[in-house]
Amino acid sequence: MSEIIRYEQVDICYEGQLAVHDISFSLQEGEILGIVGESGSGKSTLLKAALNMLGKDGLVTRGDIYYKGLDLPDISEKEMQKICGAEIGMIFQMAGSSFCPIRTVGAQIKEMMAAHGHEDAQLVEQETCELFAKFGFSEAKRIWDSYPFELSGGMQQRVGVAAAMLLKPKILLADEPTSALDVTVQKQVIEEMLLARKLFGTAIILVTHNIGVIRTMADTMLVLHQGEMMEYGRARDVLANPQSAYTKKLLAAVPRLRRSKASYGRDTASQAS
């Protein structure tokens, strides 16, 4: 595997106030990195910094975020438009809020794909419905023709994951993609993301508060607390033998249930924030 993105000693401020300090990590091709920590620890901020989505009050004030030799915080808006979606995709906690409520899912996907040079509407519809089918949607055409409000919140989230993968991005940034879902849909979303890695070799940076999701998905794990990196390493090693006092406290707060290989749902149900 080769390195695909690297954060080097990154500081991020909002309105001059330091929110994230001295964060360094890298992501390899096909790797899934889980970032955990309590609310306000800077998890989502790290993702947004890669796509220049910090808003007018946010700024990377020190360090670098390298992707294919480019320092992402320093590139132009035009360069970022080429990368965003096509090479680095992102899914949010509430995918439904990313959809326009008065246009069909299919119309919005066609517009997104056309913006990246895929202008054959019929081919886009065909490829989208094929991907929907691979992701386990039983009525792909109905979803294509639906307005977002006609889909459940869980279905909107699953469609959001599928739409993000249509351009086959090298990296998928996932910001709490399962936290607003019930256990059954959480499992479906996780299976979609794992399938995306299998089908396209996509690397994933996953922000979550859910240790059950980390156990299920992550190869490596980064623990944040108040914008500082507490621990970083192989997920199974960090989970089995945490070194920092904060990580020990975080893991100790997770209810423990007797697990079997099929017990993901029960474990996840115990992880509610």
Reported confidence tier of residue 261, pLDDT bands at 50, 70, 90 = very low
pLDDT at position 179:
80
pLDDT at position 113:
93
Cα(242)–Cα(249) distance, rounded to whole angstroms? 9
What ranges do the domains of the chain cover? Answer: 3-269
pLDDT at position 264:
46
**75: pLDDT strictly greater than 90:** yes
- List the single range of 91-100, 218-227, 240-249 with lowest mean pLDDT: 91-100
Range 3-269 classified under CATH 3.40.50.300: yes
pLDDT tens sequence across 17-38:
999 999 999 999 999 999 999 8
Q: What is the 3-state secondary structure (H, E, C) of the chain?
A: CCEEEEEEEEEEEECCEEEEEEEEEEEECCCEEEEECCCCCCHHHHHHHHCCCCCCCEEEEEEEEEECCEEHHHCCHHHHHHHECCCEEEECCCHHHHCCCCCCHHHHHHHHHHHCCCCCHHHHHHHHHHHHHHCCCCCHHHHHHCCHHHCCHHHHHHHHHHHHHCCCCCEEEEECCCCCCCHHHHHHHHHHHHHHHHHHCCEEEEECCCHHHHHHHCCEEEEEECCEEEEEEEHHHHHHCCCCHHHHHHHHCCCCCCCCCCCHHHHHHCCCC
What is the pLDDT averaged over residues 80-95? 88
What is the pLDDT averaged over residues 220-242? 95
> Among the ranges 37-46, 178-187, 219-228, which has the highest mean pLDDT value?
219-228
Cα(260)–Cα(247) distance, rounded to whole angstroms? 24
Q: Which of 193, 189, 191 is nearest to 205 (CA)?
A: 193
**96: pLDDT strictly greater than 80:** no
**273: pLDDT strictly greater than 60:** no
Percent of the chain with pLDDT strictly greater than 90 = 66
Amino acid at 49: A
Q: Which of 53, 54, 3 is nearest to 33 (CA)?
A: 3
pTM of the predicted model as reported, rounded to 2 decimal places: 0.88
pLDDT at position 1:
66
Cα(139)–Cα(147) distance, rounded to whole angstroms? 14
Calculate the CA 142 to chain-centre distance.
26
**260: pLDDT strictly greater than 90:** no
**272: pLDDT strictly greater than 50:** no
Average pLDDT of every residue of the chain: 89
Percent of the chain with pLDDT strictly greater than 70 = 93
